[in-house]
Structure 1
């Protein structure tokens, strides 16, 4: 299934994209795409529906973030060996973990703001994991049972804030609009192997990133189990799993974003994002 949320920012409604690409309204069935809806039982109830009997949504409404009420937005750094190399860093002996503020979350086609004072705004296409069941100290063999599905993520970054200034990475990763998720949450039954997905990103029509999740250092199941050792994962939590090479920081010479550019990115089967960069709004 492809689950999504549509409508004005802050007033999104739950929806489902049927096999013919028609957006169907789910607001008469579930309150939103989050919480209990993401459990195995909640998703099973949605699978029993006949999409043709759900109301079709007219027009072309804004598509919002595909998950509501995200509690934690957890990111993994340097999880592709060739990306680590392009940034001048070694492959970490354990996953690098940092948090992105949930206020950074936006829709898959919303504008991407360039922060005030930014000089190194950057892009990162990533596979996103959406947790569907509480996970605490779980073994790797059971990790995927705790996943509701997957989505496309752009881990927006400002490298000067992230690395040139003192402190941790979070402040370079958390500006408003630096966390678009979606367009859809694709349930895990429709993604038989999350370690075989192509992903790409282009800026103004030039493709800079083109990779595959098979080259991740730490795979999906490992990451879910690993993270559950340090924090309890709850339904609706999101894990951004790292990016392949081709980010602006790694180009020779480096290239960074400015207002007026268009970013397009996609993870295979999980939908495409399309953002126009804009100067920061108050």
Structure 2
């Protein structure tokens, strides 16, 4: 992807006509559907991988083929290595990370919220104080992001951070038996159990950044930072009612499927179809 060409397209968005914006909005859901289709295909691939692994199991730690069957858990056959003693299944070693980030609620672009300007200038000190108070009183909107280290991303705007909401967003989208890394939070306490995952909890408030040498949430936190720079920096914030669309747009751009040619093709096809009909 040519970064300069991509930036040129993004800068053109505010200059688009209403018809062009409509084309862009109708194109983005197609992109999200494409990502969903690929995630489903990946799940089928992982299921097949598990089938073939069970035919010829190898220890994920020492690569020894001297293993015994060691019962099953959540429908997955487990094994025990005779050489190093590690127990594992076909999905051991596949790691996902999950964490939440927050955006200030925004009604950007809503003309109904505009109020008449009052006469008289306020002091600079009072203005700064008022802005600070206003920012502190703005509700925070939670956004859940889960990703693996191959940059496959699941995201959602939440009503609140709860086990039930997280489960509804992640259930069926992370293969059972995988390892899930997350920060210590009440909503995470039983999440892995409900999703049949292996939990690796990090207590960030106590300075714990890495667990057992390999488990961390640095990948998802890096994505949080990238997402906030994109939404708050490039777009100067977006209306909360459109936040999910921008999450999908960012997720689409993050995948290897995106190309400048494909993006332009989709816009061109929709634009031509709109004028023909």
Q: Which has the higher contact order (CA 8 A, sep 6+)?
A: 1
The answer, yes or no, to whether TM exceeds 0.5 is no
Normalising by structure 2, what TM-score? 0.22
Q: If each structure's strand is expressed as a fraction of its own residues, which one has the higher value?
A: 1
- Which structure has the larger Rg over C-alpha atoms? 2
Q: If each structure's helix is expressed as a fraction of its own residues, which one has the higher value?
A: 2
